[in-house]
Structure 1
Amino acid sequence: MTGRPRRRTLTPRGRGFVGAGVVLAIAGVVLGFEDIVRVGVLLVALALLALAFARRPAAPLTVQRTVTPETVMPDQRAEVQVTFTNTGRRASSLYLAEERVDYVLGDRPRFVLPRTDAGGTREVGYVVRSQLRGRYPLGPVTLHQRDPFGLTSVTRTVDGVGELLVLPRVVPLGSSHPPGAGLGSEGETPQMVALHGEEDVSIRGYHDGDDLRKVHWPATAHRGELMVRQEDRPARRSAIVVLDSRESGHRGSGAAGSFEWAVSAAASIVVRLEELGYQLHLATRESMVAHTFEGAQGAAQLVHDLASADVGADLEFGQVVSHAHELVRLGGLVTAIVTPHDESLLGDLAAMRQPGAAALGFVLDTDTFAGAAGPTPQAAAVRDRLAAAGWRVVVVDARTSIPQAWATVSNRALVQVGSL
C-alpha cells in the first residue's frame, strides 16, 4: 500500500522554457546582447529548478477502500469510500487523483486530493455500477502533481486495491419444484441421501427400556419429567447443478449472451433448490480446479462462486462431467445447463441420471443468442438424446426466460418426458 516510484518529467511548457532559453542565450552571445543572454539563462534555470523541486521525497501515503454494499446485483449502485492516510512526518502536496477501475464500471473517477498534514487523513467517494456480473478490482490510484508554474509533472501510484463483487442475476422461480422434491412418498427416491457423520439430535419423553445414559438432564429439570436424547441420521435431498462453460459452444456477448443466461439460470436454480431443502453441489470448471464441488455448500456461497464463472476449453467440461459422476453415483437430482456442441460428451452426460432419480436438462439453442432464427437441429438432437435417457428437457432460445424454462421441466402434468 506504499507509493510506487514517482515519474518526474518536464511538461510541454517546461520543455518550451528550456528550448527558448537555449535559443535566447545563443542568440545573445552571437549578437552581443548580454540582457538577452540573461533572459535565456533565467528561463533554463527556472525549468531546471522546478525539476529539482519536483525531485523532493514525497510524503508517504496509504489508501484504504470501503465498498457499500460489498456485493451488488447488476445495475445496482455501490458507493466506494477511499481514505488516504499520510504516514510521513510532513504534509503532503496537493494532488489530482485518478482511480483505476474496469471500463464496465464507468469512467475513471477523478478528484482533487487536498494537502494532508502529517498523520492526517482525507476521504473521497465515488459511485460505480455494472451491468455485468464479475469481480472487479478498484484501484490502484494514480496521483498527479504540477508545480505552480506548470513546468514539471509528477506522477505516482499508491498501491492498494479493493474489490467490487457483482453477483449474477437471481430470478424467482415460483412455487414449482422438480419431481421427488415433495412430501410423502416422493421423498423416498434416491434423491434422499444419508449424510454419514451427521447427527440429528432431538429430545423426547423417556420410554421403558431407554438407555439412562441418554437422559437429557437440562430438559428433564425444565419439564419435570425424564427426557432423553434421540439421535437419528437425517436423510437429506442431494442435488448437483452442472454448468457447461465450453467457449466454443456459447454465442452472443454481454448480458444478452448464452453464457450469461446459463450462469443466471444456475444461480436461480441453486437458490430455489436450497429453499426446497436440497444439499447443493455446483460443477463448473472453477469448482473443479478449486475442488469445491466435492462438499455441499449453501446457495449464497454458490451464487458468489458463479460471479467469477467464465468460459473455458472443451476438455475442461469433459473433466467436469467425469468428476460430477462421482457425486451422483449414490443418487440425487441432476440439473445440467448445456450447449449443443461436441456430441461425444452426450453419452456421459445422459448417464448421470441415476435409476429412480430425476434429471433436468436445459439445452441452450446458442445460435439464437447470436441472432439466428431457431430452433436449430443440433439443439433438438441433444434434447432427444437426453430425453431418451429419462431426462426432463427443454430447449432454450434467446427469447426464453429462466422462469419459463424452469416451469417447463418441473411441470408435473407432463406425460412424456423430454417431448418439450
Structure 2
Amino acid sequence: MGGRDGAIDKGPSLRARVHLGFLTPRGWGLFVAGVVLLLAAWIMGRRELLNISLFLLAAPLLAAALLRFGRSPLNISRSFHPAVAQAGDAVTVRLEPGHSGPSPGTLLLTEALPEGFGPGPEFLYPCAAFTYRLRPTHRGVYPVGPVTARFTDPFGLSERPGAVDAASSLTIVPVPEQLLPTSLAGDIGSHGQARTSKLSTPDSFDVMTREYRDGDSVRRIHWPATARHGALMVRQEDYQSTPRATVLLDRRPASYRAGPLSSVDQESVPCYPARPAPTTARFEWAVTAALSVGAHLAALGYAVQVSDHRGTPLGRLSASAPDHATETYSGPGADLDLALVLAALGLETPTQHERHREPAGSAIGVSAAVRHSRDPLVLITGDLVAAEAHQWVESLGSTRPVGVLAISSGSAAAAATMGRAGWNVAAVPEGTTVADAWARLGGLRR
C-alpha cells in the first residue's frame, strides 16, 4: 500500500500490532525492570527489592491510567473564511489552540482532512494560531477535523493519542451559470422583471381605509375605523403579489446512468454528519442547471419553488438546507439559499415502495399542489423515453408553460410527445453548458 509521495508503507509497528502503545519505551523499560526485580526479590527474599519492584511496576501503569481517564487540557477553535464557499474556491481554515489548567508542554498536532484531500497538516503547540488552505472541487458538506495529538505524562512513561476537538462542517455549494433573459409565459416585462399575474398568490395584504362614497358596498365598511373616526370608513384593498415559478429536478437514478456524460469521476456527495449521497456526473450537471435556472428566475422577481420528481420540496430532502420548512425562494438572498439546498443533494435512494416492487409508473408522480398549479415550470431530467414522456405530461398536464432540459443523447419520440403538449424541450448533448442549453430552450412558450 503506497504512502505519502509514493513511499512504501511498511505497515504498523510491532508495538501497534500487539497494542503496546499505551506506554512509551521508557515506561516499558521501568515495567520490565520491575518484573525482573520482583523475581529477584522472590528468589533472594529481599523485602527492599520487593518495594522497589512494586514502585517500578505501578509508576507506568498509574501514568497510563491518568492519561486514559483524564481530560484533554487542550481546546481548539476552528473557523472557515469564507464560511460557505463555491466549488473550486479556496477556503482558509484557521485553528486557534488554547489550554485550560497546566500547560501540556510542546505537542505535535495533526488536523484530519476529508477523504481525498491527502494527509492533514501538522503544527506544534504552543502557538497563537495556525492557518492552511483547502480547495474543494465538488459540492457537499465536508468534515474538517478533528485535531489529534499524542499526550504524554510529565515523566514520559505513557502516551495516548486522542482527539482535541470534534470535526466541523464545511459547506461547499455548486457554482451557478449566468443565464440570458428569456420570455417566461408573458410574465416578464420589457425591463426583464416579472410582473404580477392574476394567478399569483398574495404575499402581503395591506388594508387601508377611506371615507365612504356613494356606491360603495356595505360589506366594505371597516367598523373599527368607523368607530375611531366617527364617520363611515370603507376598506381600500391593495394586494402586493409575487409571481411564482417551479423548478422540478428529476432525482431518479435511472435517468442519469446511460450516455457519454455518465462517466463518473465522483460517486458520492459528502453530507456530514449524514452518510454520503449518491451522484453521477450527469446528475451534477442537472444540479447546476437547477441552481442556475432557479437563481435566474428569482433575480427576475419570481418566488421559486424547487422540488423533485415527486413534487417534494428539495429543502426537506437535503442535509445542507438552512431551513427544511422553506419551500419557495425569492429576493436578494435566493441564490445563496438555493445553493445551500443543493449543496448536499443526491440521487434518490431506494424507498419502501420500490422495495415492494410497485408499478414503474409510480416513480413519476408529482404532488397535487404542483400538478394543479398554473405557474410556469422548468423540468430538469436525464434520458427520456416515450413512455416516461407520457408520464410527465399526464402528471403535469398541458395547461401551463413548461420547459424541459433533458440530459439526453436524444429521443425524438419523447421530445415529440412533450412538444404535442405545448412544451419546449432541449436535449443536452455532451459538453453543453447550462447557459447554452437555456438559450437553446429559448424560454417557455407564450
Q: Does 1:394 align with 2:433?
A: no
TM superposition score normalised by structure 1: 0.70
CA shift for structure 1 position 169: 1.2
Q: Secondary structure at the match of 1:351?
A: helix
The equivalences for 1:71-82 within 5 A come to 71-82=84-95
TM superposition score normalised by structure 2: 0.66
Q: Does 1:302 align with 2:315?
A: no
Matched with 1:244 is: 250
State the alpha-carbon separation in 2 of the partners of residues 385 and 325 from structure 1: 22
State the alpha-carbon separation in 2 of the partners of residues 240 and 13 from structure 1: 67
Q: Secondary structure at the match of 2:254?
A: coil
The equivalences for 1:195-234 within 5 A come to 195-196=201-202, 198-199=204-205, 231-234=237-240
State the alpha-carbon separation in 2 of the partners of residues 342 and 17 from structure 1: 74
Matched with 2:230 is: none
State the alpha-carbon separation in 1 of the partners of residues 413 and 166 from structure 2: 51
The equivalences for 1:345-360 within 5 A come to 345-353=388-396, 355-360=398-403
Matched with 2:106 is: 94
Contact 1:190–1:332 at 8 Å: present in 2 too? no
The partner residue of 1:335 within 369, 372, 378 is 378
Q: Does 1:53 align with 2:63?
A: yes
Matched with 1:279 is: 303
Q: Does 1:140 align with 2:152?
A: no
Contact 2:28–2:60 at 8 Å: present in 1 too? no
State the alpha-carbon separation in 1 of the partners of residues 120 and 397 from structure 2: 52
Contact 1:11–1:153 at 8 Å: present in 2 too? yes
State the alpha-carbon separation in 1 of the partners of residues 141 and 221 from structure 2: 55
CA shift for structure 1 position 152: 4.2
Alignment-mate amino acid for residue 233 of structure 1: Y
Alignment-mate amino acid for residue 312 of structure 1: E
Alignment-mate amino acid for residue 420 of structure 2: A
Superposed CA deviations along residues 137-191 of structure 1, whole A, max 9, x for unmatched, are 222222223579976431112343322111111111123343423228x999997
Alignment-mate amino acid for residue 304 of structure 2: L
Root-mean-square deviation (CA, aligned residues, Å) is: 4.7
Contact 1:189–1:357 at 8 Å: present in 2 too? no
Q: Does 1:261 align with 2:274?
A: no
Alignment-mate amino acid for residue 144 of structure 1: R
Alignment-mate amino acid for residue 111 of structure 2: E
The equivalences for 1:159-198 within 5 A come to 159-183=165-189, 193-196=199-202, 198=204
Matched with 2:438 is: 406
State the alpha-carbon separation in 2 of the partners of residues 352 and 189 from structure 1: 27
Matched with 1:219 is: none
Q: CA 1:20–1:60 in structure 2 vs 1: closer, same or farther (change >3 Å)? A: closer
Alignment-mate amino acid for residue 84 of structure 2: T
Q: CA 1:347–1:261 in structure 2 vs 1: closer, same or farther (change >3 Å)? A: same
In structure 2, runs of 5+ residues without a counterpart are 1-18, 226-233, 257-261, 267-279, 355-360
- Between stretches 339-348 and 235-244, larger displacement belongs to 339-348
Q: Secondary structure at the match of 2:288?
A: helix
CA shift for structure 1 position 319: 7.5
Alignment-mate amino acid for residue 357 of structure 1: R
Q: CA 1:329–1:123 in structure 2 vs 1: closer, same or farther (change >3 Å)? A: same
Q: CA 1:16–1:52 in structure 2 vs 1: closer, same or farther (change >3 Å)? A: closer
How many residues are matched?
Answer: 369
Contact 1:66–1:80 at 8 Å: present in 2 too? yes
Contact 1:283–1:320 at 8 Å: present in 2 too? no
- Between stretches 145-154 and 348-357, larger displacement belongs to 145-154
- Between stretches 189-198 and 139-148, larger displacement belongs to 189-198
In structure 1, runs of 5+ residues without a counterpart are 1-6, 33-37, 116-121, 217-227, 366-374
Q: Secondary structure at the match of 2:120?
A: coil
Alignment-mate amino acid for residue 104 of structure 2: S
Matched with 1:372 is: none
Matched with 2:96 is: 83
Q: Secondary structure at the match of 2:243?
A: strand
Q: CA 1:169–1:258 in structure 2 vs 1: closer, same or farther (change >3 Å)? A: same
Matched with 1:125 is: 131
Contact 2:407–2:428 at 8 Å: present in 1 too? yes
- Between stretches 287-296 and 265-274, larger displacement belongs to 287-296
State the alpha-carbon separation in 2 of the partners of residues 263 and 304 from structure 1: 12
